[in-house]
């Protein structure tokens, strides 16, 4: 059984490993937030490469430390590139991280998500709680799921203290069944590898009021796993993003600013956060 | 005849309707400013979804409150997606908003714009004055139009107090002929549904010095119409954008900053503006 | 032989020519940084147009003052558009600027880069030192080059005072052989047209910690050449970008901010810099 204090004490070392390795993070992602993803990866000390031409993706995977695939904006060509890249990554044991953006809003997204889950070894899946529960339904773990409204969290899915254990069980079971690490984002995040399940009660409600919070998090999950290991790397990424969000919000409030400034400050704090601050601000619970 | 004071007094209620409805705004738009559009839609309290794969767009339209189509970056696939989406939106009476970016600079853009105008019911068209006058020429409302220079307003087209009435007549006639609401942007904006024509003398000259001011405005026109009604919704969107621009510019001058900070502050004020401020700062005239 | 002081004294006049001409800058570029490129072009007083549909690119080239082609995100369609555009630009003597992003990381990028170099007259090539040395290798100027790591500069390629002359010789020879202006970026930039070679020791280490510094520079090289001439225009663009970077970094440090704010401030200073500040802050040496 992992001890919470021991886990937190590892955070500074994990952050050092990230900065020292400067992992090349290959992202196949959507055109809405791709710039934010590149800047987030750079801010934490990793190096992004956004490549999706089918003629070169396998070569790019071969020099990368992690592959992040994000289905926010699908196209036939991009899905083909995701498959070729994932196959190559699996072949050489490079971690693959999936962000199933908007799964549940169309048959196409459901189909693509299932194809990726069934045919490739995914090291981690990072989505909002509605997306994760949609996957649980699509794979038969649970029988019901709400209709997704766009790409945001459905209100009935929001994780609260009351339904935390119930949601944690679903996510843990899904992680075990798919043999992957899952990070489900919401006001409270749940992280599980099927054995260890952690609730992360950090972050700020302004995060979903900018586009890209989720995509950025998935990208840096890739960087952090590429430099460390799946469960701890995902925890590191989640703490970086949510605590950067808290600090950015405090600065916004202090300046009476809004979401445009929040977006810049979020990257500022991803760049600035150190290991001790992550320990001090973290609010996690091992379930 | 609409009374100006009565119209302005409705603004806070319209803004409340927008925030309460949180309208899902489906944008098929260009890759240059798509991130700005998503953030603008979020900032005013709506929810964006950027989807353009032809396999899923009809499904996405079906769950959305408005469809915004922006021809800033054309491709065959995107144009096909725009047609399928518009047909579906027309079928279920979801409002369609067109931003004819750069119409006039190429035969392709002229052709696509005409196809969209002729084959689908458009609830609103939002473009700069050069683009709107190009459409007036293409549809035979006026006989001459300047050659568009890139995607910006031609100098000879700029709406001033001297040519305001002349331009208002063209725009009103175009709106009546196309049975749509038109918002033509420039230093002075003109809004018309063919019956009521309104001049909006708000905004700041720094707005066209960043990319995306126009695209963001078109996107939030979609959100506002999706939550209210075509004429008043478009007015609300125009006031939100132009008054946010004025306030962002004042902050930039106060801090001796530039266009990079302006862009962040513009989103800040889209997020922060309340109904009373919109009334106080508005400078509109019913023609 | 060009005299350094005479060259610097020309800078304010060149900047005036840029602002007065407001050159229309046609960019075919990658979706990661396209928004940054458009904002950078606008900030210095030029006008961007991002068009890549093969049906319209030749028309867009015909109204533009410069064409910038950036291979950061390749696709078959985009490469075809680059070829059609370059052919049209060559035909009407519009300058063509190439940014060979990531050349060296895949066979595809090497092939595309060589095709563009061999088949079209390029007015300037702007890349990081690793990319430029990869081109020198691909074209037989030098026999060895490091393996590129992603899209960033390889450590062994970094230009320092110790290897400055050696690198300058390679770049000068490459510029002469390809009959083009080359700007190789790094901590020290080297600019050469094959006859005159200039070292530019400006800029800040935070510049590669955001995405888009290089792409933005290539885009404004296009604007500056389009308004002036190849060698001096490229120098103007390099001074604008690197000195804006220095000033943005100073503001970031003063505010204890990070890379998110840096990105906004970089655009702020591109917008604000005047000719006298460029002279005062410039640190160039004619080799």
Interface of A with C (CB under 8 A): 24, 31, 34-35, 38-39, 42-43, 47-53, 55-56, 59-60, 63-64, 77, 263-272
Q: Do A50 and C73 touch (CB under 8 A)?
A: yes
Nearest to A126 by CA among A62, A57, A72: A72
Q: Mind giving me the DSSP string for A78-91?
A: HHHHHHHHHHHHHH
Q: What are phi and psi of A63, to 5 degrees?
A: -100, 0
Cβ pair C171, A84 in contact under 8 A: no
CB atoms within 10 A of CB C65: 19
The strand pairing partners of C225, in sequence order, are none
Give the H/E segment covering residue C3: none
- Sorting pLDDT into bands at 50, 70 and 90, what band is C143? confident
Interface of A with B (CB under 8 A): 30-33, 35-36, 72-76, 102, 105-109, 147, 149-152, 209-212, 257-261, 263-264
For chains A and B, count residue pairs whose Cβ atoms are closer than 8 Å: 101
- Token couple for A244: 């950067």
- Token couple for A41: 């990866």
Q: How far apart are CA C133 and CA C184, in angstroms?
A: 9
ipTM (interface pTM): 0.94
First to last CA, chain B: 11
Q: How far apart are CA B80 and CA C132, in angstroms?
A: 40
pLDDT at B163: 87
pLDDT at C161: 82
Residue of chain B whose Cα is closest to the Cα of C57: B106
pLDDT at A149: 59
Q: Do B258 and C272 touch (CB under 8 A)?
A: yes
Instruction: Give the ranges where chain A is alpha helix by DSSP (H).
Output: 4-9, 11-21, 34-43, 57-63, 76-91, 107-119, 129-138, 164-178, 213-227, 230-255, 259-272, 275-281
CA B111 vs. chain centroid, Å, equals 21
Name the residue with tokens 């995977």.
A61
Q: Which residues of chain B have pLDDT under 50?
A: none
Domain membership of residue C213 as a residue range: 4-286
Q: Do C43 and B73 touch (CB under 8 A)?
A: no
Q: What is the bridge-based pairing of β-strands B66-70 and B24-28?
A: parallel
Torsion of CA B80, B81, B83, B88, to 10 degrees: 150
Q: 3-state DSSP call for residue A124? A: strand
Cβ pair C212, C41 in contact under 8 A: no
- Out of C76, C102, C210, the one facing A39 most closely (by C-beta) is C210
pLDDT at C280: 98
Longest dimension (CA), chain C: 51
Query: Per mean pLDDT, which range of B172-186, C143-157, C167-181, C236-250 is the poorest?
Result: C143-157
pLDDT at A10: 97
Tell me the nearest-neighbour CA distance from C286 into chain B, angstroms: 32
- Out of A31, A38, A60, the one facing C211 most closely (by C-beta) is A38
- Sorting pLDDT into bands at 50, 70 and 90, what band is C148? low
Cβ pair C221, C124 in contact under 8 A: yes
Q: Do C211 and A271 touch (CB under 8 A)?
A: no
pLDDT at A160: 80
CATH number of the structural domain spanning residue A55: 3.40.1190.20
Mean pLDDT of chain C, nearest integer: 95
pLDDT at C159: 80
Interface of C with B (CB under 8 A): 24, 31, 34-35, 38-39, 42-43, 47-53, 55-56, 59-60, 63-64, 77, 263-272
Could you tell me which chains touch chain A, where touching means 3 or more CB pairs under 8 A?
B, C
pLDDT at B74: 83
Phi-psi region of A97 (alpha: psi -120 to 50; beta: other; left: phi over 0): beta
Could you tell me which chains touch chain C, where touching means 3 or more CB pairs under 8 A?
A, B
- Sorting pLDDT into bands at 50, 70 and 90, what band is C2? confident
- Sorting pLDDT into bands at 50, 70 and 90, what band is C150? low
Q: Which residues of chain A have pLDDT under 70?
A: 1, 144-153
Q: Which of C27, C50, C257, C260 to mutate to test the interface with B (most CBs of B within 10 A)?
A: C50
pLDDT at C73: 83
Tell me the nearest-neighbour CA distance from C53 into chain B, angstroms: 6
Q: Which of B32, B111, B248 to mutate to test the interface with C (most CBs of C within 10 A)?
A: B32
pLDDT at C76: 87
**Structural domain count, chain C:** 1
Q: What is the bridge-based pairing of β-strands C284-286 and A124-128?
A: unpaired
Tell me the nearest-neighbour CA distance from C72 into chain A, angstroms: 8
């Amino acid at each position: 059984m992992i001890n919470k204090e021991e886990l937190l004490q590892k955070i500074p070392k994990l952050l050092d490993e990230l900065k020292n390795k400067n992992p090349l993070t290959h992202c196949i992602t959507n055109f809405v937030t791709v710039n934010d993803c590149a800047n987030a990866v750079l801010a934490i000390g990793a190096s992004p490469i956004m490549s999706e031409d089918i003629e070169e993706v396998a070569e790019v995977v071969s020099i990368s430390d992690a592959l992040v695939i994000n289905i926010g904006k699908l196209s036939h060509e991009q899905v083909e590139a995701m498959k070729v890249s994932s196959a190559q990554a699996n072949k050489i044991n490079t971690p693959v991280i999936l962000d199933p953006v908007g799964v549940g809003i169309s048959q196409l997204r459901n189909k693509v998500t299932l194809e990726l889950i069934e045919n490739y070894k995914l090291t981690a899946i990072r989505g909002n709680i509605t997306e994760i529960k949609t996957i649980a339904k699509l794979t038969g773990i649970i029988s019901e799921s709400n209709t997704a409204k766009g790409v945001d969290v459905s209100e009935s899915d929001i994780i609260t203290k009351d339904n935390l254990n119930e949601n944690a069980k679903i996510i843990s079971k899904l992680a075990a069944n798919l043999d992957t690490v899952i990070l489900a984002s919401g006001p409270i995040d749940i992280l599980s590898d099927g054995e260890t399940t952690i609730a992360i009660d950090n972050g700020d409600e302004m995060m979903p009021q900018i586009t890209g919070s989720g995509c950025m998090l998935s990208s840096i999950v890739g960087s952090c796993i590429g430099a460390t290991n799946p469960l701890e790397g995902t925890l590191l990424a989640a703490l970086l993003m949510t605590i950067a969000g808290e600090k950015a919000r405090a600065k916004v409030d202090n300046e009476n600013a809004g979401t445009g400034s929040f977006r810049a400050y979020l990257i500022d704090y991803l760049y600035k956060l150190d290991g001790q601050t992550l320990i001090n601000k973290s609010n996690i619970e091992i379930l």
